Amino acid sequence: MRTRPLKVALLGCGVVGSEVARIMTTHADDLAQRIGAPVELAGVAVRRPSKVREGIDPALVTTDATALVKRGDIDVVVEVIGGIEPARTLITAAFEHGASVVSANKALLAQDGVALHAVAEQHGRDLYYEAAVAGAIPLIRPLRESLAGDKVNRVLGIVNGTTNFILDKMDSTGAGYQEALDEATALGYAEADPTADVEGFDAAAKAAILAGIAFHSRVRLDDVYREGMTEVTAADFASAKNMGCTIKLLAICERAGDGGSVTARVHPAMIPLTHPLASVRGAYNAVFVESDASGQLMFYGPGAGGAPTASAVLGDLVAVCRNRLSGATGPGESAYAALPVSPMGDVVTRYHISLDVADKPGVLAQVATVFAEHGVSIDTVRQTGKDGEASLVVVTHRASDASLSGTVEALRKLDTVRGVASIMRVEGE
């Protein structure tokens, strides 16, 4: 085993960064044996140097992240500060000064992963980011390496623990959205500003990364259709239960039926209680992968938190350090397929539509006619009502998003339709 240590620079020492430093220290001997050389924490870049950081030598702490990544003796930079800048500039500088990079930055990778991979390749360095999607769950490496000989057709998953906790509470207790969000905030599952989670931005970034790897094509954050979950109600859950379903915020990446394009989307959806994802509770994540040869695979585990995310970071660190010792690099960007990303209007799925209608003869016939005129086939209809008002629930067979949008627009013009209470996709058949 080589005695000269590999030097690691840590950018960020918050919840995840502090756990990375702790594991590097407490598991130093094991890591050295697994890598073939010791690893040494050579510097820690932070914004507030005065804060006490247990287990970290204060002499290693600096506010000058740029100087740290440009030192020239750094073998690996671990970036866990998040956001676009200064992370992008620091990672680029790390490559240019000879370091490989391990990152947990899903937002940056979804937006600028192509450019970062290009810089890494130019300088013969690694860019690993297992921790960017689904926390501790091994997912990036299985897609990029274990399934490299297979053809992945669909990736369907719960990739945000905050939203899953909220929806699970609404399902299991009958709580409203705000009540469930308040509980998630009190327990530390939701940020003070939960927008990135509940509006689907976090999941959309992860979907872009997963789609790019799974389909060997370039998928950016802007290519991902995104719909948040703030409008999901207790009534929606009641309707889902009547169908033998529950509701999850899903990231869905799939090939078109003809294989000539891909789609990537994030939105709430009803899924059957018989589907494995329906049983994912609390703040856990799970991803369902469908491929030609291996069939259906499911990856499940904690999707966030300091220690679980640090576990994924350290796994990448070991792999990158091994590459460093052997003078090799791991898999880079694979975008040879260059499949275009289809718009949401082309996506075909089932729909659950709840309408408020007048309770009088002929309403159902009018509604059915509108669906037929737009080429949308109805699977089931359920109507309840009294005192002149009624609720009509329609579940369709598979239809395109564009045709469903035209149907709903026409329904709103009917005098007998008081309003569209909710529209939700049905997935996981």
**β partners of residue 6:** 39
Task: List the catalytic residue out of 7, 169, 206, 248.
Answer: 206
What is the distance between the alpha carbons of residues 78 and 100, in angstroms, rounded to a whole number? 9
**β partners of residue 61:** 44
On the question of a cis peptide bond just before residue 86, with omega within 30 degrees of 0, the verdict is yes
Does the annotation mark 206 as catalytic? yes
DSSP strand pairing (225-226 vs 245-255):
unpaired
Retrieve residue 423's tokens.
């529209």
DSSP strand pairing (399-400 vs 348-358):
antiparallel
Retrieve residue 81's tokens.
């500060």
Residue showing tokens 């930055």: 105
Cα–Cα nearest to 426, from 337, 371, 347, 359? 347
Residue showing tokens 């899924």: 271
What is the distance between the alpha carbons of residues 292 and 340, in angstroms, rounded to a whole number? 21
Q: Would you please indicate which residues are annotated as catalytic (active-site) residues?
A: 206
